[in-house]
Structure 1
Amino acid sequence: MGKYTKEDIFRIVEEEDVAFIRLQFCDIFGVPKNIAIAASQLESALNNECIFDGISVEGYVRSGESDMYLYPDLDSFDIYPWRPQSGKVARMYCNVYTMDRKPFLGDPRNVLRRVVEKADRMGIRFKVNPEAEFFLFDYDDEGQPTTHTKERGGYFDVAPADQGENVRRDIILNLEEMGFDISSSHHEAAPAQHEIDFKAEDAQRTADMIMTFKMAVKTIAKKHGLYATFLPKPTEGISGSGMHINIIATDKEGRNLFSAGEKGALSEEARSFIAGVLAHVRGMTLVTNPLVNSYKRLVPGYDAPVNISWSSASSNRSALIRIPSNRGEGTRIEVRNPDATCNPYLAIALLLAAGLEGIEKKLTPPGELDENLNHATYEQLRERGLETLPMTLGEAIRAYEGDAFVKEVLGESIYEKFLEAKRAEWKDFRTCVTQWEIKRYLNLF
């Protein structure tokens, strides 16, 4: 049974003086989009009669079709606490349907829904929680964002070294008003870098929450005169920002399927899930790490995974997959390579689908990584016989093209349009002359 009925939505809108409702969705890259309607048009929206033109939305247009319907998810109704309290603004996430009232194959939310439904048929229910990192930078005198900060805080620092403490607190208070269960927050390793964690929720809701989280962080930071960015590597020479994704699997009675129940041992399902993710992680990297800049983070020596490996030792943070120390009913699998610029619906869908394939086929993972290789070079990793993640967006494109599983999960529409866009992005970057090249070569040649 759902959280809200149509009658509940009408009542809340009237009682809370909601003036506008945003019907929200996203393009294939996870960029949020919305249609804003006045409260007077709510009935039409709740009857799934809101039409929009998909011609300008990345990845949405199919041949001969541009008009599409938005079907609001009633349970996603929330009021934005940071907007005016007189004439409030609310939002609902929407599924996208075609004019013949069928789920649109290019809708990222639909991709994740299909994977969750498959898991349900297998008797598995997933909960997911992300660990999204971000930077708070200054604006310049013209109001444009920079990568500059006067802060010099480090891991777990407190004020006054942590100059973003008040911003984080404001973000958390706003998110809690929207139903987020915030577990912790802290200053991260690099100056001006922060992390706010919330507890695990069902996979679909978690993807929605990631979209809300990024919007809230950016909006509230701006109110404090700072620019929030989830760019993986905005500044060279320091650690970048990732979004580790923690996954818990339970049966329909709520028992943890990843736990063997004895002294923290992993179940066969956990091992097969890990094997499935590792088997496809290179092909998925274009989606989990979608920018040219993403690969500036995935390098040795900066606390980001490089080698394709796993470890049940919670202290080994050089492995791509690690098993945190909370075992038994708290056993979860942490995938450490994604960053927050990904489309959360597609990234989570691929990770879950890969793990499900591993369980279906009873795959066996490679041996555990038994030492910390955080500072190992690519040559040292190869000497150990370890495969590595793609080193560039171009390499990620080739891995994506070589994995038919990724196409099967995403569907041909999203797969092809994502590939087309990333090829164009890589081509643009390869023809760009950077400041590094000028500094390195101009005085020599």
Structure 2
Amino acid sequence: MSTEKDIDFVLRTVEKRDIRFVQLWFTDVLGNLKCFAISPEELEEAFEEGIGFDGSAVDGFASLEESDMLAFPDPATFALLPWRPKESGVARVFCDVSTPSREPFDGDPRRCLRKVFEKADEQGFVPNVGPKIEYFYFDNDLDPVPLDTAGYFDLTPMDRANDLRRQTTLTLEKMSIPVQYSYHAAGPSQNGVELRFTEAVSCADNIMTARLVIKQEAAGQGMFASFMPKPIASAPGSAMYLYQSLLDHEGENLFWGPKEHHPAHLSDIGQHYIAGILKYAPEFTLVTNPTVNSYKRFVSTGEVPTYATWGRRNRSALVRIPTHKPGKHIATRIELRSPDPTANPYLALAVTIAAGLKGIEERLPLPEESTCDTFNLSEAELAAKGICRLPRTLGEAIDRFESSELMREVLGDHIFTYFVREKRREWEEFCTAVTDWEREHYYGGV
């Protein structure tokens, strides 16, 4: 939570650095970044009383009759925008959104994640998350034509994005967002960046910032960055891997357990958490994979999960347990492999962490570890083992989500209802669209 010390630091920095505009950032329900700017003279009042704005202009926020909203800046998120001039500079700060009566607004995704975080905190858990975001660089925003033929971790003259990744990393670090590493991913023109672990709300803030910085730096080089999960049919899709763990209030990792307790060094808490993720994954998939195109990525290539399974070396598992360094217990974590970068990170973290916490609450047993051989089994054999298939289309994901009591509880009626309505509309629009594939196969007729 913000303190007077945080606010004083921000106000002094604004004056010292000659900041002339402060952008107030927040997201709509679907994860689009929204912003309006205020002068530095308004900032102190914004911290104390909030700044009013028209919520009816933001998708999923409010009706015309209930349009007034207040944005309260979170001083802990204050950062200068490095791509703007140093003279008469520009800064940004993330906001929590409230009603005119200062009640938390039910449609604010950041508030939604904060509620899950606070619930975990009350139970003695601190959710810690590190994201790895994949994306493509193209030379324009119309045609996804690859700029190189490089592959995973390649360092060759063919990789045109070397300098661009370096500049993106430097910009993120100037905004106090540490980067673990950046790399060329498996597909042509596909790249990735892994951010350092932090608590859940800060992680979502960092993802939103990283998506903007990646696009901003690409545009500055005359290129276009796309987070579309599957822009090229013949190339691998883009994921947003979420590395999660639970710490206690002293910073000890609660997922770690001795090897004699569990072969993957998982504690009982870690096992229950994973079991919760697996049980509720079909229900939260609409949030972690929210577009029609998201499901074009779910093909059986051995790299993308299609079933709710877990494993250590099996990268087709939904949850993978990376091998941590011997003796480094803090590194014990899960790798959630299904989310993609079109997801609203606040909601994606809210539902996945809530699913894990539910597994702890229900003391769910961890199913048998899956191996590559698991996927040689038939659908019936997998079902007999209790292995649940993930939704294969946006329509199926909507149905599973809509019937979920947990998703409604975590997101609240406002976000839950809006999400179902908008995604149902999107799916129906897609189902009635005529595609090039259909014309190619059916236009000639019989």
TM-score range, shorter chain: over 0.9
Q: Please, what is the CA RMSD of the aligned residues?
A: 1.6
List per-residue Cα deviations over 1:136-155 (Å, max 9, x = no partner). 0012xxxx442012311111
SS at match of 1:426: helix
Shift of 1:159: 3.1
Q: Which residue of the partner structure matches residue 430 of structure 1?
A: 431
Q: Which residue of the partner structure matches residue 190 of structure 2?
A: 193
What CA distance in whole angstroms lies between the structure 2 residues aligned with 1:384 and 1:424?
A: 33
What CA distance in whole angstroms lies between the structure 2 residues aligned with 1:23 and 1:11?
A: 18
Q: Which residue of the partner structure matches residue 292 of structure 1?
A: 292
What CA distance in whole angstroms lies between the structure 2 residues aligned with 1:403 and 1:41?
A: 43
**Structure 1 residues 243 and 381 mapped into 2: Cα distance closer, same or farther (>3 Å)?**
farther
Q: Which amino acid aligns with 1:88?
A: G
Structure 2 portions without partners, runs of 5+: none
Shift of 1:10: 1.5
List per-residue Cα deviations over 1:353-391 (Å, max 9, x = no partner). 111111111111221102266xx58x8454433321111
Matched, 1:202 2:203: no
Q: Which residue of the partner structure matches residue 308 of structure 2?
A: 308
Q: TM-score, structure 2 length as denominator?
A: 0.94
Shift of 1:67: 0.2
Q: Which amino acid aligns with 1:80?
A: L
Shift of 1:302: 6.1
Q: How does 1:311-350 map to 2 (within 5 A)?
A: 311=311, 313=312, 315-326=313-324, 328-350=329-351
Q: Which amino acid aligns with 1:17?
A: D
Q: Which residue of the partner structure matches residue 95 of structure 2?
A: 94
Q: Which residue of the partner structure matches residue 417 of structure 2?
A: 416
SS at match of 1:75: helix
Contact 1:172 1:182 in 2 (8 A): yes
What CA distance in whole angstroms lies between the structure 1 residues aligned with 2:404 and 2:367?
A: 19
Matched, 1:236 2:233: yes
Contact 2:242 2:339 in 1 (8 A): yes
Contact 1:316 1:372 in 2 (8 A): no
What CA distance in whole angstroms lies between the structure 2 residues aligned with 1:170 and 1:68?
A: 37
What CA distance in whole angstroms lies between the structure 2 residues aligned with 1:103 and 1:73?
A: 14
Contact 2:47 2:73 in 1 (8 A): yes
Contact 1:284 1:406 in 2 (8 A): yes
Shift of 1:28: 0.3
What CA distance in whole angstroms lies between the structure 2 residues aligned with 1:191 and 1:279?
A: 35
SS at match of 1:24: strand
Shift of 1:2: 4.8
SS at match of 1:334: strand
Q: Which residue of the partner structure matches residue 135 of structure 1?
A: 136
Q: 2:164 pairs with 163, 167, 186, which one?
A: 167
Shift of 1:213: 0.3
What CA distance in whole angstroms lies between the structure 2 residues aligned with 1:118 and 1:42?
A: 30
Aligned sequence identity (%) = 41
Q: Which residue of the partner structure matches residue 274 of structure 2?
A: 274
Q: Which amino acid aligns with 1:324?
A: P
Matched, 1:113 2:114: yes
Contact 2:302 2:315 in 1 (8 A): no
What CA distance in whole angstroms lies between the structure 2 residues aligned with 1:196 and 1:59?
A: 30
What CA distance in whole angstroms lies between the structure 2 residues aligned with 1:414 and 1:56?
A: 16
Q: How does 1:313-392 map to 2 (within 5 A)?
A: 313=312, 315-326=313-324, 328-371=329-372, 380-385=378-383, 386-392=387-393
Contact 1:131 1:243 in 2 (8 A): yes
Shift of 1:5: 2.4
What CA distance in whole angstroms lies between the structure 2 residues aligned with 1:299 and 1:181?
A: 32
What CA distance in whole angstroms lies between the structure 2 residues aligned with 1:372 and 1:349?
A: 32
Contact 1:307 1:381 in 2 (8 A): no
Contact 1:51 1:67 in 2 (8 A): yes
Q: Which amino acid aligns with 2:422?
A: A
Structure 1 portions without partners, runs of 5+: none
What CA distance in whole angstroms lies between the structure 2 residues aligned with 1:32 and 1:230?
A: 14
What CA distance in whole angstroms lies between the structure 2 residues aligned with 1:369 and 1:50?
A: 51
